[in-house]
Amino acid sequence: MKLLFFDIRELELNYLLDKIPVEIEPCFIKSPLIESTYVDKKHLDCEGLSVFVSSVLNRKVLEQFKNLKFIFLRCVGFSNVDLDYCKKRGITVLNTPNYGNSTVAEFVFTLILTLSRKVIQAKQSIIQGTINQDELIGLELDKKTIGVIGAGAIGKKVIEIAQGFNLETLVYDINKSNEYNFVELDELLQKSDFVSINCPLTDKTRNLINEQKIALMKKDAILINTARGEIVDTRALYNALVNKKLLGAALDVVECEETLCQTYGKCEQYDELRTNCLKKFFFIQKLVQLPQVIITPHIAYNTKEAQTRILDITLFNIEESLNINSGFKNLVLI
Q: Is 117 a catalytic residue?
A: no
Rounded-to-integer distance, Cα 181 and Cα 183, Å? 7
Other beta carbons within 10 angstroms of residue 283's beta carbon come to: 19
Out of 12, 230, 257, 258, the active site residue is 257
Q: Are 94 and 331 in contact (CB under 8 A)?
A: yes
Catalytic residue from among 228, 235, 255, 258: 228
Q: What is the DSSP letter of 3?
A: E
Query: Around 207, how many Cα atoms within 13 Å sit in the side-chain half-sphere?
Result: 8
Beta bridge partners of 57: 81
In this structure, the number of other CB atoms found within 10 A of the CB of residue 280 comes to 23
Given the residues 230, 235, 258, 298, the one annotated as active site: 298
Q: Which of 292, 330, 281 is nearest to 121 (CA)?
A: 292
CA distance 153 to 326: 27
Residue type present at position 250:
A
The catalytic residues are 228, 257, 298
